[in-house]
């Protein structure tokens, strides 16, 4: 019997509901949680994060099986589901909590994230420079229960969730 190897990935890509929905559907992603990281306040609440004085970003934090889905694949999806050139916001969601950020869990992820950012930045896809930050993952604070699997509970599928082919088998 082979042992399942699990790794972590954490991304800030605007409001955390849609990214969670997208990553949840991928084969090889064994769990996702939305929450806050990158700031100074311990165990922040949604209201505190929205006041933009905690320094935290809204993020999707996930466990994945690298033998099934690679970190590189997760990064490719991360770049597709948000605008990494918009400073402190995504669309109409404005504030530093909605920033584009990659929080890495080891040196391998840091290197691959930097390489991916450079590659995407020179791809010609965006007219403005990519401003996504890349930093070691600090403590992840899980968001309140009512934020977890929010889109799933609404039975709402966003356009983003239709972009990816390698879905979990039902």
Q: What is the pLDDT of residues 56-108, one digit of tens each?
A: 999 999 999 999 999 999 999 999 999 999 998 888 889 899 999 999 999 99
Instruction: Print burial letters for 63-82: b (CB count within 10 Å at least 16), e (below 16).
Output: ebebebbebebbbebbbebb
Residues 7, 9, 13, 15: which is the catalytic one? 15
Half-sphere exposure of 116 (CA within 13 A, CB side): 23
Asked whether the beta carbons of 160 and 18 are under 8 A apart, the reply is yes
Q: What is the pTM of this model?
A: 0.89
Structure confidence at residue 158 (pLDDT):
53
Half-sphere exposure of 1 (CA within 13 A, CB side): 2
DSSP letter (8 states) at residue 77: H
Q: Does residue 2 belong to any structural domain of this protein?
A: no
Q: Does residue 1 belong to any structural domain of this protein?
A: no
Q: Does residue 48 belong to any structural domain of this protein?
A: yes
Asked whether the beta carbons of 36 and 57 are under 8 A apart, the reply is yes
Domain count for the chain: 1
pLDDT band at 26 (very low <50, low <70, confident <90, very high): very high
Q: Does residue 168 belong to any structural domain of this protein?
A: no
Residue 152 sits in a domain whose CATH number is 3.30.1060.10
Q: Domain of 48?
A: 7-162
Give the number of other Cβ atoms within 10 Å of residue 24's Cβ.
18
Q: Does residue 133 belong to any structural domain of this protein?
A: yes
Q: Does residue 151 belong to any structural domain of this protein?
A: yes
Q: Which residues contact 135 (CB under 8 A, 6 or more apart)?
A: 38, 101, 102, 103, 104
Q: Is 50 a catalytic residue?
A: no
Per-residue pLDDT tens digits for 103-138:
999 999 999 999 999 999 998 888 899 999 999 999
Q: Does residue 170 belong to any structural domain of this protein?
A: no
């Amino acid at each position: 019997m082979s042992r399942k190897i699990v790794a972590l990935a954490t991304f800030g890509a605007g409001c955390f509901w849609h990214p969670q929905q997208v990553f949840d559907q991928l084969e090889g992603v064994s769990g996702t949680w939305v929450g806050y990281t990158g700031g100074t306040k311990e165990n922040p609440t949604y209201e505190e994060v929205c006041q933009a004085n905690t320094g935290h970003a809204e993020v999707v934090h996930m466990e994945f099986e690298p033998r099934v889905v690679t970190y590189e694949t997760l990064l490719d999806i991360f770049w597709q589901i948000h605008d990494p050139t918009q400073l402190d916001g995504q669309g109409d969601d404005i504030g530093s909590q909605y920033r584009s950020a990659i929080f890495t869990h080891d040196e391998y992820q840091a290197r691959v994230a930097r390489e991916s950012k450079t590659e995407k930045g020179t791809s010609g896809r965006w007219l403005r420079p990519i401003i996504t930050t890349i930093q070691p993952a600090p403590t992840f604070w899980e968001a309140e229960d009512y934020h977890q699997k929010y889109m799933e509970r609404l039975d709402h599928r966003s356009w983003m969730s239709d972009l990816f082919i390698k879905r979990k088998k039902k």
